[in-house]
Amino acid sequence: MPELHFRLRWPDGGESTHYSPSSVVLDYFSAGQEYEITDFLSRARAALTRASARVQEKYGYACTRARSSLDAIEHHAVPFTARAELRVKLLEFLA
Q: pLDDT by residue (tens digit) across 9-62?
A: 999 999 999 999 999 999 999 999 999 999 999 999 999 999 999 999 999 999
The total number of structural domains in the chain stands at: 1
Question: What per-residue string of b and e applies to 42-76 under the rule 16 or more CB within 10 Å gives b?
Answer: ebbeebbebbbebbeeeeeebbebbeebbeebeeb
**Segments forming the whole domain that contains residue 20:** 4-94
pLDDT at 1 over 80: no
pTM over 0.85? The answer is yes
Residue 2's pLDDT band (cuts 50, 70, 90): confident
Residue 73 binned pLDDT confidence (cut-offs 50, 70, 90): very high
